[in-house]
Amino acid sequence: MKNSEKIENKLLKNLKLCTLPLPHRRSLPFEFYWQNSIFTQEKKRIFTDQWLGLGRADRLMLPGQYEALELCGQALLLIRDQDKALRLYANTCRHRGAKLLEGNGQCQAISCPFHGWTYSQDGVLIHAKEMDKNPNFDFAEHSLIEYDLKEVEGFLFAFIGSESTSLEKQLGDFAKLHKPWALNDLVTTRRQAFEVQCNWKAFLDVFNEYYHLNNVHPTSIDNLYWKPEESDITSGDYASQFGLTSGTGALLEAQQLSALSKMASLTEPWSLGARYSWIFPNMTFAASQEAIWVYEATPISSERCQIRQSICFPKSTTELPDFNEKSLAYYQRLDDAMSEDIIALENQHKGLRNSPSLQGQFSPLMEENVASFSNWYATKMI
């Protein structure tokens, strides 16, 4: 047996420890947070075999509004067409492969900057100069490559593999569990993207556990969070855990007086805390008393990821006369806590990258969402 095969078998044996009952379950082997060969397997078994979260649908509301993004190495183009339907295309010209659009914006048509081939918002090729002189050229055969896209509870989900699976089965009872927050009615008020020098799974891990709060956020948000309740038993590929807070977890400890109105749809206990949910594999969010904040983690490499962050409020809240002023405190809370998380994550990655093969054990209450993902991920990868 080759040495490389021995390593693979050892990793497989260690990965099976992630499927044990929670008191005995182990975290993912450290190699799964930095090894390139693992990232290659993830592309096959995770990212092209699962519906992936693309954040909130309302961020593109007008016909022609678009966002160019990358997802696991694929250049994608999200655009709202003239019929106000959202479409997801490969951001690649059908002529000779040039990238069509960059960043965010609004357009009447999608025009390639290389040779000028032009597509309508519904992906149909409508102009290709000189190609009418080629008798074998068929415009209908050169529409943009389109991927499956669905909206559930205001969230977007994309399938970039060859044959889509059931999103309804994947989400299970997600809509029922999150009904108190009236997710469909929320409005995105800020969206931004940034990179972190860590594995995509590590970023999502830290967002979904309480264990790091008093070490990483001792003066910013730690004192707001009580110990959480046990994670909910869910029927879909997601994990969720609710916990009470002192005041609101959506603001820093020093800015609690800037709190906006609570969501009208919430009753106790939901109006007294925050729910942290992780939709496997790549999207997570916190549903607090006045707002939700959402993160999509996209791997750039095995050791680097892009994070897209959104924060959303009820429409009625955004119409309050003091919303623009008070919302700044919410944005600051996200920025300050994230800065603290990134320092911890990048330090963790240095340790993971330069350590022997190890697997930690979970704090059953404080890391339940992470333990649930570990089990789900291992089952997909074995």
For each of the domains in the chain, give its residue range(s) and CATH number, in order of start.
Answer: 55-151 (2.102.10.10), 167-381 (3.90.380.10)
**Overall average pLDDT of the 213-219 stretch:** 97
| pLDDT grade for 355, boundaries at 50, 70 and 90 | confident
Largest CA distance in the chain: 72
C-alpha 179/C-alpha 260 separation (Å) is 21
More confident residue, 288 or 353: 288
Q: Which residues contact 164 (CB under 8 A, 6 or more apart)?
A: 51, 148
**Inter-residue contact 99 to 92 (CB < 8 Å):** yes
For 311, left (φ over 0), alpha (ψ -120 to 50), or beta? beta
Assess whether pLDDT exceeds 60 at residue 6: no
The pLDDT score that the predictor gives to residue 38 is 94
Assess whether pLDDT exceeds 60 at residue 329: yes
| pLDDT grade for 5, boundaries at 50, 70 and 90 | very low
C-alpha 311/C-alpha 188 separation (Å) is 6
Please report, rounded to a whole number, the percentage of residues in the chain having pLDDT higher than 90. Answer: 93
Assess whether pLDDT exceeds 70 at residue 3: no
Please report, rounded to a whole number, the percentage of residues in the chain having pLDDT higher than 70. Answer: 98
The pLDDT score that the predictor gives to residue 356 is 84
* Joined tokens for residue 175: 């809509």
> Which has the closest alpha carbon to 180: 282, 262, 238?
262
Kindly report the average pLDDT of the chain as a whole number: 95
pLDDT tens digits for 150-169?
A: 999 999 999 999 889 999 99
pLDDT tens digits for 72-115?
A: 889 999 999 999 999 999 999 999 999 999 999 999 999 999 99
The pLDDT score that the predictor gives to residue 1 is 38
| pLDDT grade for 4, boundaries at 50, 70 and 90 | very low
C-alpha 26/C-alpha 195 separation (Å) is 28
Residue 279 has a CB neighbour count (10 Å cut-off) of 25
The pLDDT score that the predictor gives to residue 111 is 97
Chain-centroid distance of CA 3 in Å reads 36
**Inter-residue contact 308 to 69 (CB < 8 Å):** yes
Alpha helices by DSSP H, 33-111: 36-42
